[in-house]
């Protein structure tokens, strides 16, 4: 058996290539993966379910297929973690919620099915907060998920189980979803790469049998390198009839165009959105922004006032959650988490005039983005204003000793771009004084997912991060 102690840290695209070239076997990689999960998961609680026997059986079957020279796909043999808000055949989708503890889906989500068809092997489900509602990962079924850089801190939410699994090299690839920052927040707090595509880029199914009208949430991945995410998006993106809002495949390979970042881009940098940013986070983000100047792009610091969309995002999300869960609330009210269900039922008090005001404010932010991208090719911001907070929460209510104007100030840079639908990514900006990762957010015009990934890749090449991960 090949020495896997170093191989588990290799990027997903390298591991897949080694398997296709028959330099390592899928079963060898899977054995090392399961061994690592067994050793680390009790400390981190990244995975809430493991399908150990089936995953190994599938890896052994792939060994035989490769030996027979069969085409096993671009993700050949890659162990995959699936966030527990997304369906996987044979495993419950609990949504981190007690009333759904034994909820068995009819099959795989479109995203999972596409990844499996490309050769990925599902290892298990990664932990998430109840219905993905918080920026840290804790629920009443599976408990608290912890950050590999410091287990007393959160890996973020709601894709916190996936980010902890990636940052600790339990798996090379894990799915996530992002309705207000739930891919970018965990990526920032764990130093991974997190990409939120344009709304509709990856199909999203109906939730509990109800078609979603809230056009803010997307599926995607958490990875250790940009190229791994580009490879993932090449497979996961593209129209599917299960999602009438899904977009056609762009018709080109994101992975193939990573090195084609245009020269002399016009880049805007907004350092704070009018909010407080932790001083060492601001320092590291400024260093990260300077990389784009060194690459020959023109960076302009902007301070335009940002329309406040925090209340808008809460109203839009709460109404859909209430509609989705309405039939389950009364029979199971006591089983839901108290803070979660209180936030959901509060949506009953939202009036249509208030909803209209929310959408007018949403339009104001969309107009703000339009004016930015009329003048600039990219927008840079911090991903988050702080480093990771306590694993059990709550999010910080003050920064630099100053109180936040409202609780959403802790995630002020992520959720606005869910409301606007723009593609955005978090790259590792550096480390705070306490040794925790912090992030730089890269945003582009709608449908320019390629430009976000190209800019992310250029930054990654200039300032590599894949050689530094936590020692656990």
At 39-88, the pLDDT tens digits run 999 999 999 999 999 999 999 999 999 999 999 999 999 999 999 999 99
Task: Identify the H or E element spanning 440.
Answer: strand 437-444
Q: Which of 83, 116, 138, 196 is catalytic?
A: 83
Q: Cα(174)–Cα(133) distance, rounded to whole angstroms?
A: 19
Sequence-distant (≥ 6) Cβ neighbours of residue 364 within 8 angstroms: 307
Task: Identify the H or E element spanning 177.
Answer: strand 173-178
pLDDT in tens, 442-452: 999 999 999 99
Q: Cα(18)–Cα(341) distance, rounded to whole angstroms?
A: 47
Q: Cα(159)–Cα(128) distance, rounded to whole angstroms?
A: 6
Within a 10 A sphere around the Cβ of 245, how many other Cβ atoms? 13
Q: How many residues does the chain have?
A: 472
Q: Cα(172)–Cα(133) distance, rounded to whole angstroms?
A: 25
Average pLDDT (366-371) is 98
Q: Which of 27, 97, 109, 158 is catalytic?
A: 158
Query: How much is the pLDDT for 1?
Result: 43
| In 278-326, beta strands by DSSP E | 298-301
pLDDT in tens, 196-253: 999 999 999 998 999 888 899 999 999 999 999 999 999 999 999 999 999 999 999 9
Q: Cα(127)–Cα(150) distance, rounded to whole angstroms?
A: 18
What is the pTM (predicted TM-score) of this model? 0.98
Q: Cα(91)–Cα(83) distance, rounded to whole angstroms?
A: 11
Q: Is the peptide bond before 394 cis (omega within 30 degrees of 0)?
A: yes
pLDDT in tens, 253-309: 999 999 999 999 999 999 999 999 999 999 999 999 999 999 999 999 999 999 999
Active site residue 303: no
Active site residue 83: yes
Widest pairwise Cα distance in the chain? 65
Q: Break the chain into its structural domains and give their ranges.
A: 7-462
Q: Is the peptide bond before 158 cis (omega within 30 degrees of 0)?
A: yes
> Which of these, 126, 133, 121, 122, lies nearest to 157 by C-alpha position?
133
Q: Cα(379)–Cα(126) distance, rounded to whole angstroms?
A: 31
DSSP class of residue 217?
A: -
Q: Which of 27, 109, 182, 207 is catalytic?
A: 182
Task: Please state, rounded to an integer, the average pLDDT across all residues of the chain.
Answer: 97
In this model, does residue 370 exceed pLDDT 90? yes
Round the CA-based radius of gyration of the chain to a whole number and report it: 21
Active site residue 182: yes
State the pairing for strand pair 402-403/398-399: antiparallel
Query: How much is the pLDDT for 472?
Result: 85
State the pairing for strand pair 79-83/173-178: parallel
Looking at the domain covering 7-462, what would its CATH class be?
alpha beta
């Amino acid at each position: 058996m090949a020495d896997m102690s170093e191989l588990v840290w290799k990027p997903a695209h390298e591991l897949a290539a080694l398997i296709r070239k028959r330099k390592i076997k899928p079963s060898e990689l899977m054995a090392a993966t399961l061994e690592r999960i067994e050793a680390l998961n009790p400390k981190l609680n990244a995975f809430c379910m493991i399908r150990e026997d089936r995953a190994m059986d599938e890896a052994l079957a792939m060994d035989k297929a490769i030996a027979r020279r069969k085409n096993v796909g671009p993700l050949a043999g890659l162990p995959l973690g699936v966030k527990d808000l997304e369906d996987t055949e044979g495993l419950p989708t609990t949504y981190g919620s007690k009333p759904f503890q034994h909820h068995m889906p009819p099959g795989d989500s479109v995203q999972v099915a596409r990844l499996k068809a490309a050769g990925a092997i599902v290892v298990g489900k990664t932990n998430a907060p109840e219905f993905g509602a918080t920026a840290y990962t804790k629920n009443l079924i599976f408990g608290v998920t912890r950050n590999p850089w410091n287990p007393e801190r959160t890996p973020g939410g709601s894709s916190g189980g996936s980010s902890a699994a990636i940052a600790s090299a339990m798996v090379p690839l894990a799915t996530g979803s992002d309705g207000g920052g739930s891919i970018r927040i965990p990526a920032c707090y764990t130093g991974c790469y997190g990409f939120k595509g344009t709304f509709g880029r990856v199909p999203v199914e109906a939730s509990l049998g109800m078609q979603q009208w809230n056009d803010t949430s997307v599926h995607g991945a958490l990875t250790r390198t940009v190229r791994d995410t580009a490879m993932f998006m090449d497979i996961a993106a593209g129209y599917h009839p299960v999602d009438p809002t899904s977009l056609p495949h762009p018709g080109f390979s994101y992975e193939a165009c990573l090195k084609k970042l245009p020269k002399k881009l016009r880049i805007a940098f907004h350092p704070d959105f009018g909010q407080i940013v932790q001083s060492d986070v601001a320092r590291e983000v400024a260093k990260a922004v300077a990389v784009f100047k060194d690459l020959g792009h023109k960076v302009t610091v902007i301070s335009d006032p940002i329309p406040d969309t925090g209340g808008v995002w809460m109203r839009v999300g709460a109404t859909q959650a209430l509609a989705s869960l309405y039939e389950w609330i009364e029979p199971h009210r006591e089983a839901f988490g108290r803070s979660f269900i209180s936030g959901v039922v509060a949506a009953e008090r939202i009036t249509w005039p208030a909803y209209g005001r929310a959408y007018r404010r949403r339009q104001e932010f969309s107009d703000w983005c339009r004016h930015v991208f009329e003048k600039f090719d990219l927008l840079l911001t911090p991903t988050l204003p702080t480093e990771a907070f306590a694993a059990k929460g709550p999010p910080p209510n003050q920064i630099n000793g100053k109180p936040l104007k409202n609780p959403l100030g802790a995630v002020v840079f992520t959720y606005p771009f869910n409301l606007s639908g723009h593609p955005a990514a978090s790259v590792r900006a550096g480390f705070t004084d306490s040794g925790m990762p912090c992030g730089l957010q890269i945003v582009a015009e709608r449908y320019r997912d390629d430009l976000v990934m190209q800019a992310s890749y250029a930054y990654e090449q200039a300032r590599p991060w894949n050689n530094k991960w936590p020692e656990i």
